[in-house]
């Protein structure tokens, strides 16, 4: 992510003040929080994951069901690339805020597991994660390390050892519903929150994009840390528009 114009320190200080005065702050993150780790977002011109690939042709549940080998030709590379990435300082700041008791948890649209690897303990992954793949026949779960071994050993879709059925990544594909339990937990956190901090998300993809509205309707406040515009800009108490790492590090410094 290219660093934007630095937000005045008073904006970071304002968000730090909001965190200090909040009792039930939560964080909502999107693809932008992982861009500094070398993971492209989805639709940025020139770099987005879907810039040169039609997701309906490679990441739709129907493609997995009809052409699992074709599906895994794309997803195998994505698995390998994500597994090699490491948490960045933005993930680490959010984990530190939770450790200090300043945020109650993180709701994320990302499947890369970087929040948990950075030390965040309460993470709601509403789109699932790459950590495991699932057999559609017997529901057995296979860790990502074994899936990568299977992909390296033979071309095509990795298979369940018991059922010889193609494994499916434990992520939400196009054409699938979001997991009910994760979304119920996310809505509960949003409804209870007195502050929601939205980090690295355009807040345009529903139903997750409705979560800030749930917090606002419940009387909570909203802070935005992202470079692009969002539908909630006019309702946010504070907006930090620079590089996500620099902005969150400035907030942490303002708390010290």
Which positions are annotated as active-site residues? 127
**Rounded Cα–Cα distance for residues 107 and 218 (Å):** 18
**Structure tokens, 19:** 């965190």
**Rounded Cα–Cα distance for residues 28 and 199 (Å):** 6
Q: Could you tell me if 137 and 160 are in contact, meaning their C-beta atoms sit under 8 angstroms apart?
A: yes
Secondary structure class of 159 (helix, strand, coil): strand
Q: Residue 46 to residues 17, 49, 131: CA-CA distances in angstroms?
A: 37, 9, 28
Rg of the chain, C-alpha, whole Å: 19
């Amino acid at each position: 992510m290219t660093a934007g114009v630095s937000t005045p320190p008073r904006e970071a200080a304002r968000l730090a003040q909001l965190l200090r005065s909040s009792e039930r702050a939560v964080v909502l993150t999107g693809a932008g929080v992982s861009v500094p780790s070398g993971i492209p977002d989805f639709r940025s011109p020139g770099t987005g994951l879907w810039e040169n690939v039609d997701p309906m042709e490679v990441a739709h549940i129907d493609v997995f069901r009809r052409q699992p080998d074709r599906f895994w030709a794309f997803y195998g590379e994505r698995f390998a690339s994500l597994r090699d990435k490491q948490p960045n300082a933005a993930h680490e700041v959010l984990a530190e805020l939770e450790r200090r008791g300043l945020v109650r948890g993180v709701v994320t649209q990302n499947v890369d597991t970087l929040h948990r690897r950075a030390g965040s303990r309460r993470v709601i992954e509403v789109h699932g994660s790459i950590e495991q793949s699932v057999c559609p026949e017997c529901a057995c779960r296979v860790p990502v390390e074994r899936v990568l071994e299977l992909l390296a050993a033979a071309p095509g879709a990795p298979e369940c050892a018991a059922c010889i059925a193609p494994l499916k990544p434990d992520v939400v594909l196009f054409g699938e519903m979001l997991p009910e339990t994760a979304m119920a937990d996310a809505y509960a956190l949003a409804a209870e929150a007195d502050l929601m901090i939205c980090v690295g998300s355009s807040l345009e993809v529903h139903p997750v994009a409705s979560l800030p509205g749930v917090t606002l309707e419940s009387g909570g406040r909203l802070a935005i840390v992202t470079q692009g515009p969002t539908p909630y800009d006019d309702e946010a108490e504070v907006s930090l528009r620079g590089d996500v790492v620099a902005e969150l590090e400035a907030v942490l410094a303002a708390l010290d």
